[in-house]
Amino acid sequence: MAIKKFNRCVNDNMNIEEIALKIEILERQNLSKSAEMTNYTQSALTSKVKKMEAEIGQEVFKRTPQGLKITDVGIQYLHFLKLITEEYDEFLQAIGAAQTNTKISFGTSHTTIKIYGASIMNSLQTNNIPLDVDFTVESSTSLNEKVHNAEMDCALTSNPIKHYSDLNYDMIASETFEVISNNAHIINFEERLPVTLLVLSKGCMYSRAMAEWLKKHQIPFTMKEIKSVSSILDFLQIDNSIAVLNTKLIDLYNYTNIHYYDLQQLHNIIETVFIYKKGDSKQSPIDQLKNVIESLLEDPIEQS
């Protein structure tokens, strides 16, 4: 009886697109969000769940006041479906089937996209790597949470304060940031006059570090978020304005009329990490993207 049920499950599941949909539902554990990510309605996905449970004869989700929670059987079923997709990929590689681009939802911070975005895309195209990368630009905190909630495949950003137990945080690079102003408007922080702090993102670790330093030294400040590096450098011409930016990013723009501050007790080294779910295959698209990024960091980043 068990063998018949297993065979029926395999036969029903051999549609790869259907398997991918089931993996999406089981991993996300949120039908409304899965509906947003696919072309199905929430009611259609509810029917898919019922069909899954009918196939294996047990529940794949528990219904709780907080929403769906995957059961132990659901976890086993998810692993089974992933094994099928991995074996199918190996089969296609073995027969030399033409590869189609695999979509990856990839998150970066505002700083990271400006430094590495063009180089990553150029490397993928130059080396004919079959990855279709969709970039999302947000703060490190938001990206970290989205990878944890399976709303995003992976992210490259400064090391977030909170680490989730289901995620890997692989250090890619150790980078520095600078506190700068225009040479014509050098600030004496000992006077404790109000300053305007210009940042690419208020949620950036650089911005937080500088904000904490200003608070600790009792210097009044207003933080202004400006999405363009060139605009930040233009705004520095205003009195009592400073900015905090990644060192590589400043170098890319070749500005010379800048004053650099060496501030005591400000730790200006930030780890850049590649965040992704634990348990991903070593040959997965996520691992391919990580290898591309690591290869870029072995050589100087070219200005685009």
Q: What is the CATH number of the domain that holds 128?
A: 3.40.190.10
Enclosing domain of residue 185 = 175-270
- Residue 253 maps to a domain: yes
251: pLDDT strictly greater than 90: no
- Which of 111 and 178 is assigned the larger pLDDT? 178
Q: What's the CA gap between 171 and 180, in Å, rounded?
A: 26
Q: Are residues 193 and 64 in the same domain?
A: no
Q: How far is CA 212 from CA 57, 208, 220, 239, 275, in A?
A: 55, 6, 11, 22, 25
Q: Are residues 180 and 265 in the same domain?
A: yes
Q: What's the CA gap between 68 and 72, in Å, rounded?
A: 13
13: pLDDT strictly greater than 80: no
Taking Cα atoms as reference points, which of 224, 223, 237 lies closest to residue 183?
237
Q: Are residues 283 and 266 in the same domain?
A: no
pTM of structure: 0.59
Neighbours of 148 (CB within 10 A): 17
Do the beta carbons of residue 197 and residue 211 sit within 8 Å? yes
Q: Specify the range with the lowest mean pLDDT, choosing from 62-66, 92-96, 116-120.
A: 92-96
Do the beta carbons of residue 81 and residue 75 sit within 8 Å? no
Do β-strands 131-137 and 102-108 pair in parallel, antiparallel, or remain unpaired? Answer: parallel
Do the beta carbons of residue 254 and residue 242 sit within 8 Å? no
Q: Residue 1: which pLDDT band, with cuts at 50, 70 and 90?
A: very low
Q: Are residues 265 and 275 in the same domain?
A: no
| Rounded mean pLDDT, 52-67 | 89
